[in-house]
Structure 1
Amino acid sequence: MIGDCAALPLDAGHPARLAEMATQPAGSAIATNLGMPSMSYALNRNGLREELDEAASLTIIIPSEVAFGSMPDALYDSPEEMKKLIERHVLRERLDPQQLLGTHRSIAGSDITATADGGRLTLNGRATVLCGNIVTTNATIYVIDSML
């Protein structure tokens, strides 16, 4: 793990919870992790949970609950816009922290650039990885402090 996974809300960063996620495909792992209710809601509302579960290999960048809280309420009411937002945070390959460094294309077609400085991993020059390298059966997950 990288970052302070113990700081995730509702005991999500507890080692037992993270170990449980490792036995599930990505969509299900996120949906059953009580520390990520906004992302879980977004995945279930838009049919992305099943898509993530069925994918062979992914990297998923999850905005924190605080980041989701900064979004306009209208976005929650638009499944299409929410799906586009989530797809900007998903890569079609599984990347560990070292592999994540550099620029990668999201499934929405936007670029995500990861840099490291002093042990801190930053995406697109503004989003800091709070907890990362969380493994599921088909994905690696990183939790960030803002939207991309």
Structure 2
Amino acid sequence: MTVVAVLTLTGCTAHDDAPATPHRTSTAVTKHTDVSDSIAVLHRTFAASDALPDDSTAGDDTVVLNSQRRVGTVDGTTYWVAVGQEGGACLIASDGPDSAENWTVCGGNAADGSFVGRGSVVISMLDEHGHQTSLVSDGFTDTGSDALHQIAPNVWAS
């Protein structure tokens, strides 16, 4: 799996041994549109609650303006899923103003040779404690002793 880390990744490192291999295809991803076919939350109408905080690591050079959808808050971290400027999808996490745990990662775009297919890991991050957080497409499942579990729509963690 090809991993593209974007913007500030303080306290996190890219991890390309995700438990599931993303679907790969030779068909190019149409910029800004095809990712929503595999991540249904991106079809939802933008609401005020989907707005990113002012200190977000996701800029308009990273994600398509107002494409982000808030998917939940777990243990003080709020997560959003967005369409990436290079295609594919982005996972955005925020622990609050100026936190070292705020980050944005993007993957699954035609430029890096990958694709966001149904039931796949789009991008994964490992924090400094070895905890994995992954953006997954609709239909993803995982099994085994190291299986990820869903913490929010399209967000799974170890």
TM over 0.5: no
TM-score bracket for this pair, using the shorter chain length: 0.3 to 0.5
More helix as a share of residues? 1
TM-score by length of 1: 0.35
